[in-house]
Structure formats: C-alpha cells, structure tokens
Amino acid sequence: MKIAVLPGDGIGSEIVAEALKVMAVLDLPFETEHAPVGGTAYELHGNPLPDATLRLAQQADAVLFGAVGDWKFDTLERSLRPEQAILGLRKHMGLFANFRPAICYEELTDASSLKPELVAGLDILIIRELTGDIYFGQPRGRRVSPDGAFKGAEEAFDTMRYSRPEIERIAHVAFQAARKRNKRLTSVDKANVLETFQFWKDVVTEVHAQYPDVALDHMYVDNAAMQLVKAPKRFDVIVTGNMFGDILSDEAAMLTGSIGMLPSASLNAKGQGLYEPSHGSAPDIAGKGIANPLATILSVAMMLKFTLNQPEAAARIEAAVKQVLASGLRTADIWSAGSTRASTREMGDAVVAALAKLSGLKTTIAKTTL
C-alpha cells in the first residue's frame, strides 16, 4: 500500500500529521513517501507541482493530500500559484470523480448553523465532476493587458465546456453510487441559461435509461443552493459539474457543523485516489495548533474503503471518531458550551487512543453510506 503524502501549505502539515498517527496504529503495511506541493513546493523548487511530486503521486496507490494555498502567493502569475498543484494532480492523474459526503454526526447537531431538526441524521453525498467545466475550459485569458497582469485589462474570460464522454462517465459513477444508497439522484445544472448544462442534463437523462431502479430528478443550481439550507434531507446523491460542485459542497459542509469535518475522495478510472479534506489551507489559523484534523482522518477512512480495500479498518476509524465526539472533545470550529476544547494534536491523540481500544474488538462494518 504505497501512499504519497503531500501535506502542502497552511494547516496542511498539522492535519496530515494527525492522519499519519492514525494510520500508524492500524497495523497495515503502509509505505509512505512525502513530497512538497503547493506554495511550499514553489518556495523550494519554483514550481507548485514539481515533476518528482507528480511522479510520486502517479506511482502511488493513493495520495494523502493536506491543502494548498496562501494569500501571500496571490500576486504570482496564475500558473505558479499553489492551487495549480491540485488542478494539475487532478488533470494528470485523471481524477474525474470527487466524492464529498456530508454527514451530520448526532453529537454535532448543535454545531450546525441550521436548526437541529433540519440536519439531524443528514447523510448526503455530493459527486462533483473534477476535470472539466470552466476550471479547465479553453480559451481563457484577458484582453488588453500589456504586462500579463490584470491592471489595464479591459476584459477577462473563461470558457465553460463539457464533452459527452466526460458527462457520461461521471453520470455512471453517480448512478452506481445512488444504487448503493437510497437510489435517488439529483442532477444539478443551469440548463435554463447555459448551453453546456442543457447538454449535461440531456446526457444524464440518456444514461438514466441504464439505471431504471434509480429515481432521477434535475434541479437548477440556484434552487439546489436554496434547498440545501431549506430541506437538506430531501437529497440522497447529488451529481454536478466542477464549479457548482465546488460551491455546493462547501455549503453542504457547513450543514454538518464545520468544514473541518468533511473528507473527500477524488478517483480516476484505475481506482487510484487522492484523499483530502474538503477545506483549504486555512491560512488564518495555520501554525496555531487549533485546526480540526477529523476531515483528514476521515479521508484516510475513505482511502481504506475506496482504494485499499480495507473496509474494516475504515469502519474502525469512523467508529473511533464517533467515540471521541461522543466523549465531548471538540476543536474550536465545532466547540459548543459544555464540551471540552481540544487542540489539533489532542484531537488526533484521542482518535488514536479510541482506535487502540477498538483494535482487537471486532468492529461491525456500518452500512456503507458512500
């Protein structure tokens, strides 16, 4: 089990350190190798995604990724910015399917910004297409900008584009995921305004013919954004494009209490995966030791399930996290009156201790929600 470990910037190294501690007590033959990525790699090698880092990621079974980005790089030319590293990894590894489950743990119902009755028992899965859409569309650029900067530019543009095979493969992934859950799929688009998303809607409808057991509905993205805060439990699986998925999954994250709770998996056709928390590098809290490591720890559970075929170990991690939350331990982002405040390291230690207690005991594999 060869894992490329790319901690990245900001809180990346703090949260990945806790995930590695958790992996260490699983007693599985992990072989880990670290490499710089993002702003850290730019400062070391002048490139946010050095060739050696990309090669390591491509040759590994799975990538454990922290986060990239820092405001101090905002003035760099776009191709050198830290965020290009994650876009490059997605593109070069063909990581087209992004799974972002939003599960509201019973213990965190109070931490949600919505009323407890709206989020209690929430368990939805957002599947975001990751290698197409406006983030990768050509042409892109600006006009009348002599020095390559935006100063003096009259216009800037990005092109939204999807091909039939791109939509078909993500639709298949989404229908298959819905089949393993409650058999309801909502495809989110903006077909009323955008040609790209009328095409998206038509292709998803065509693919639906192969999954008659799954109920499909279509929803405009503005309505989906509203429904997510009005009645989030109406959803089971949501499939959408790259940009809408980016925005809706952050919105869904907050329903669960904190973006610090949400893991994610990005998979390619070979089953290789990149596993990372749904959040960014949180430069505002980097170095303070207060970041929530649970999204990264739960991303390890996804890695065990999706790529490494170790569902029992994944279930043990999830059970350990539940136990720790039930004990009242909370990092600052999910803290509420009456609970015990923990640092990043204390939260990681608590999960490790709970896992150690659970090992030896046979953990029942919970109904897979992904």
Catalytic residue, from 61, 158, 250, 349: name it: 250
> Closest distance between ligand NAD and the C-beta of residue 196, in Å?
23
* Catalytic pick among 105, 162, 190, 201: 190
Query: Taking the complex as a whole, how short is the minimal distance between the CB of residue 127 and ligand NAD, in angstroms?
Result: 17
> Which one, 94 or 283, has the nearer CB to ligand NAD?
283
Cα angle 312, 317, 320; round to 5: 125
Q: Is 333 a catalytic residue?
A: no
Our CB check for ligand NAD shows the closer of 54 and 295 to be 295
DSSP 370: -
42 is catalytic: no
Binding site for ligand NAD (CB under 6 A): 11, 15, 67-70, 83, 86, 259-260, 276, 279-285, 291-292, 295, 333
CA dihedral 132, 134, 135, 137 (to 10 degrees): 70
From the CB of 258, what's the least distance to ligand NAD, in Å?
A: 6
Backbone angles phi and psi of 252, in degrees to 5: -65, -30
Q: How far apart are CA 247 and CA 150, in angstroms?
A: 25
Cα within 13 Å of Cα(167), Cβ side: 23
- How far is it, in rounded angstroms, from Cα 245 to Cα 256? 17
For residue 305, give the 3-state DSSP assignment. Answer: helix
Nearer to ligand NAD, 131 or 196 (CB): 131
C-beta of 86 vs 219, nearer to ligand NAD: 86
- Rounded Cα gap, residues 269 and 55, in angstroms: 18
Least Å distance, CB 365 to ligand NAD, is 27
Least distance (Å) from ligand NAD to the CB of residue 237?
A: 22
- Our answer to whether residue 250 is catalytic in this structure is yes
- Selecting among 105, 135, 162, 275, the annotated active-site residue is 135
Contact 82, 44 (CB under 8 A): no
Q: Which DSSP string corresponds to 39-103? A: HHHHHHHS-SS-HHHHHHHHHSSEEEEEE---GGGTTS-GGGSTHHHHHHHHHHHT--EEEEEEE
Instruction: Kindly report whether the peptide bond that precedes residue 139 is cis, defined as omega within 30 degrees of 0.
Output: yes
Catalytic one of 246, 275, 305, 333: 246
- Minimum Å gap between C-beta 331 and ligand NAD is 6
In the bound state with ligand NAD, the residue whose beta carbon lies nearer, of 66 and 132, is 66
Of these residues, 222, 270, 288, 357, which one is catalytic? 222
Would you say 268 or 310 has its CB closer to ligand NAD?
268
Q: Which residues are catalytic?
A: 135, 190, 222, 246, 250
